[in-house]
Amino acid sequence: MPPTKSSASVKQRSYRVEAREQSGEPRKAATARRPVAKKRATTSKVAAAKSTPARNGAAKQSSSKASYTLAGVKRASVLLKQVSDATRLQILLLLSDAEHNVGAICNELGGQSQPAVSHHLAKLRDGRLIEPRREGKNNVYMLTEEGRLLAHTVKSLTWLKA
């Protein structure tokens, strides 16, 4: 029977995976466990047809579509997931107008509970869309540059105001 992993080693591994995902570093390829079968040789005409680019410009179109980096697309996906909740999106739009503390945000959102709003603020803070600033006993939240860009993009949707 193989030895079980301790919870400390599992946590340490998960921290490394999270750090790698946040930095945009690609995952390591899995090592092959069995030998791979050799490919059969193709005829010279088929190989030549595969190696020559298309003459109608299809190769140029496919390369221009792939101009987005994988790390950039993943980052956009994470940002959109973070504001996919309606309350978080409302908070983002509210903070685009002015800085607010948790109590003011609760009142603006129609009396939502303080723990619920704090949870949403923590999610937005983890996504680096907002940042807190200490003011006495309270934290005052404001948008980061990414948060301002995202709020501006959302505000530019004309159907949102209807």
Give the pLDDT confidence of 41-75 residue by residue, as tens digits: 555 454 444 444 444 444 444 455 568 899 888 88
What tens digit of pLDDT does each residue of 32-43 get?
A: 555 555 555 555
Strand 138-143 and strand 130-135: pairing?
A: antiparallel
What tens digit of pLDDT does each residue of 107-153 get?
A: 999 989 999 999 999 999 998 999 999 999 999 999 999 999 999 98
* Nearest residue to 26 (alpha-carbon basis) of 69, 88, 76: 69
Reported for 20-26, long-range contacts at CB under 8 A and 24+ positions apart, including other chains, are 21/74, 24/70, 24/71, 24/74, 24/75, 26/70
* pTM score of the predicted model: 0.56
Domains along the chain? 74-160 (1.10.10.10)
